[in-house]
Amino acid sequence: MNGGRTKAGRGAIALVLVTALGVAAGEWHGRRHASSSPPATEGPDAEPATATAAGNCEPRGAPAANAAVDMDALTAVVRRAVAEQFEASGRKEPPTEAPDAHGRPPSKLAPTPEAVAALAHGRTVVDTARAQGRWTDDDAEALRSVLPQLDDASRDEVLQSLTKAVNLGELTVETRGRLL
């Protein structure tokens, strides 16, 4: 429902950013060009014809000072444009899409009912075993049947709840061999 609107909004933001960058680059280039060009007229403010040795160390038209000013201006322009865009799209602030614990981007798709049910089942298997204080072959088999239906984040959650419980001694491993 919101997807088209969000996409359009992102496209507009990208357009604004590109435009702002272009304007700022043009302005910067213009200033640089002006500062490195010889003065058009001789006068009290004109550059000396011969520079000192120290002066020669300074590259002509070095943009350091100008670049700092331009960056401030550019930042202001971009901030204003982004704020206007989000205001126009009805959002108070940009969406935050924080990565998960493993640095992976969050899933764009809503989990399917099957995935939700599988996660619930996986949690139940581990929680029931914890309540009983034992991890048996039947528990391992039940969890093995669920794991393929889980996405990475859900599988991490279930497996880590199991390994943490084992390491804390909340579960006595009674399987004939490995944990799973």
Partner 1 sequence: MKRALTLSMFVAIAAIPVLASAGTKSSNPVSIDTVNRRASGSTGSTRNTSPSGSYIGCQVIASGASSSVVCSARVGGASPVFRSCSSSTAAMVTAAAAIGTDSDIVFYWDTSGVCSTIYTSNYSDNEPKAP
Binding residues for partner 1, rule: CB under 8 A, are 102, 147-152, 155-156, 159-167, 173, 177-180
Cβ atoms of 83 and 14 closer than 8 Å = no
Least Å from the CB of residue 109 to partner 1: 13
Segment (H or E) for 172: strand 172-173
Least distance to partner 1, CB of residue 98, Å: 18
Query: In terms of CB distance, is 27 or 151 closer to partner 1?
Result: 151
Dihedral angle sign, alpha carbons of residues 9, 11, 16, 20: positive
Beta pairing partners, 173: 135
Minimum separation from the CB atom of position 7 to partner 1 (A): 25
Three-point CA angle 115, 159, 136, nearest 5°: 105
- Rounded to whole angstroms, the Cα distance separating 92 from 41 reads 52
Report the nearest approach of partner 1 to the CB of residue 26 (Å): 44
Fill in the amino acid letter for 93.
E
In the complex with partner 1, which residue's Cβ is closer, 44 or 103?
Answer: 103
Our CB check for partner 1 shows the closer of 27 and 156 to be 156
Q: Which is nearer to partner 1, 10 or 155 (CB)?
A: 155
